């Protein structure tokens, strides 16, 4: 099992194995992620405590009027900060919605897959690091707009009929940021993160001899894919040996926490995270079920007339 961890909780799960092995292995990964998360909190508290203690010591030594009262209030401030920091970062370095999606998808697909390995890439990191471009804000002077593209789930495998599939889930967000000044000229850094939805892309490489007639079923495929109300079909390409479909969701509800202007991560309320995971599961299931409904029809049409 390959798990990549970086400061502030960068958790990536990679595995090439059977679904049974992945389901078992994923539980171990979650346990290790919890341990890593606790270490992140501890490290953050320790670093802040050391820096703040050093500042208090310097202030105490260079200021003749420094008193024990100052030290007392400094210690109280440190304790309050540690409590707030721990509560804020306790679980939010991991996206709960992403955490719930993979097991549900694997359970859904398990009975129809052959004995070959399934390849999984899952990024649970809730911060925004995959910036693709930055432009000046279209309306706010002095502000910039960052665009993020985060392909956080990649899943590939092979079904019993030798159809190979590649599924990718990509999240899009934008972040507006810049200095905002009041009437007295005092500036404050502001940032706002917005969801721009999630894109699902499914590619099927199909046996031409079995499903050669699928190419004439373009409109039938559109009708067969019954997506949830917050998803819409963006692209559907059907050829004799492959099918490619792309759908996009409406923006999801996210909250934003900011730690310094150079680090921003988002998270969801538990109820929103559960709803997001359910919506993604339903949309992915609708893609597979709809396309296989068309493949079954194409198989009947491709049978030689006797």
Delimit the domains of the chain by residue range: 95-302
* pLDDT value of position 214: 86
Tokens 């960052």, located at residue: 146
Tell how strand 187-205 and strand 164-181 pair up.
antiparallel
Count of beta carbons in the 10 Å neighbourhood of residue 75: 13
The torsion defined by the Cα of 157, 158, 164 and 168, in degrees rounded to 10, comes to -20
Below-70 pLDDT ranges, the chain: 1-10, 33-34, 36-41, 43-45, 47-48, 51-94, 126-129, 253-269, 304-306
Q: What is the pLDDT of residue 260?
A: 36
* Residue found by looking up tokens 């958790």 in the block: 11
Residues 151, 188: contact at Cβ < 8 Å? no
As to burial, measured by CB atoms within 10 angstroms (0-12 exposed, 13-18 middle, 19+ buried), residue 51 is exposed
Q: Give the residue from 160, 168, 167 showing the smallest Cα distance to 116.
A: 160
Question: Rounded distance, CA 237 to CA 291, Å?
Answer: 12
Rounded CA gap, 267 and 281, in Å?
19
What confidence score (pLDDT) does residue 268 get?
A: 60
Q: What is the pLDDT of residue 263?
A: 38
């Amino acid at each position: 099992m390959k798990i990549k961890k970086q400061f502030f909780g960068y958790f990536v799960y990679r595995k090439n194995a059977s679904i049974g092995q992945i389901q078992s292995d994923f539980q171990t990964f979650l346990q290790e992620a919890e341990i890593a998360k606790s270490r992140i909190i501890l490290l953050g508290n320790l670093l802040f405590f050391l820096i703040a203690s050093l500042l208090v010591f310097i202030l105490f030594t260079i200021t003749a009027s420094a008193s024990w009262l100052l030290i007392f209030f400094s210690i109280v401030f440190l304790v309050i900060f540690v409590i707030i920091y721990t509560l804020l970062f306790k679980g939010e370095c991991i996206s709960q919605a992403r955490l719930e999606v993979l097991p549900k998808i694997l359970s859904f697909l398990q009975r129809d897959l052959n004995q070959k390995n399934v390849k999984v890439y899952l990024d649970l990191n809730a911060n925004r690091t995959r910036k693709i471009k930055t432009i000046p804000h279209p309306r706010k002077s002095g502000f910039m707009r960052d665009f993020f593209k985060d392909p956080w789930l990649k899943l590939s495998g092979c079904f019993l009929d030798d159809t190979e599939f590649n599924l990718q889930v990509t999240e899009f967000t934008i972040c507006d940021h810049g200095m905002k000044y009041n009437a007295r000229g005092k500036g404050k850094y502001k940032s706002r993160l917005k969801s721009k939805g999630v894109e699902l892309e499914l590619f099927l490489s199909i046996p031409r001899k079995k499903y050669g007639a699928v190419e004439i079923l373009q409109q039938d495929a559109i009708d067969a894919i019954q997506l949830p109300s917050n998803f819409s079909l963006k692209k559907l390409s059907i050829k004799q040996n492959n099918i490619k479909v792309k759908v996009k969701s409406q923006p999801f509800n996210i909250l934003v926490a900011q730690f310094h202007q150079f680090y921003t991560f988002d998270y969801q309320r538990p109820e929103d995270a559960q709803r997001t995971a359910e919506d993604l599961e339903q949309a992915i299931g609708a893609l597979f079920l709809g396309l296989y409904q068309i493949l079954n029809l194409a198989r009947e049409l491709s049978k030689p007339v006797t």
